[in-house]
Chains A and B, each alone.
Chain A
Amino acid sequence: MTYAFQAEGLVKRYGKTIALDGVDLAARPGTVLGVLGPNGAGKTTAVRVLATLLRPDAGRAVVGGYDVVRDADQVRRRIGLTGQYASVDDDLTGTENLLLIGRLMDLRTADARVRAAELLARFDLTEAAGRPARTYSGGMRRRLDLAASLVGRPEVIYLDEPTTGLDPAKRDDVWNMVRALLADGTTVLLTTQYLEEADALADEITVMDHGRVIAHDTPADLKRIVGGQTIAARPADPARLGDTAQILAAVSGHQPESPSRGVLTVPVPDDTAFVEAVRRLAAAGITMTELSLRLPSLDEVFLTLTGHGADDRQEAGV
Chain B
Amino acid sequence: MQPIKPLADIVVPDPKSDEVYETRVLDRSFRFTGLKALLGAADISKAGDRIAGLAASDDVTREAARQALSGLTLQHLYDRPLTDDHGRVDAVMRVNYDIDLRAFVSIAKMSLGALKDHLLRCPPAEVMRVGSALTGVMAAALVKLLDVHEMVLVARKARRSAKARTMLGLPGTLSSRLQPNHPSDNLDGITMLVYAGLSMGGGDQLIGVNPAIDTVDNVGALLRHLDMLRSSTGAPSQICVLSHVKTQLACLERGDPVEILFQSLAGTDCTLTEEFDVTVDLLDQAYVAMGQRGPLRGVADAWMYFETGQGSELTYGKHNGMDMAVCEGLCYGLARRYDPFMVNNVTGFIGPETHCDNHEMIVSNLQDHCMGKLMGLPMGMAPCYTLHSKITLEGQQMATQLLTAAGSNYYMDVYLHTDRMLAYFDTSGHDNQTLREVHGLRPAPEFLRWAVERGIFVEGSDGAVLRGPQWGNPRAFCKSDVELQRLLESLPAAHGLENAGPRPADRVSRAMRANLAVGREAVYADLRLDVIAGIPFRSIRTDAKNREEHLNDPELGARLADEVRSQLRAEHNDVQIVVSDGLSAEAIHHNVPSLLPVLLDGLRSRQCKIGQPILAPFGRVKLAEAIGDALEAKLTLVLIGERPGGDALASRSMSAYFAYRLDEHGVRTEAAHFSGNPEVRYEYSVVSNIYAGGLPPIEAGSVVAEKVMQILTHKAAGNRLERLLSRKASANDQDR
A and B assemble together: no
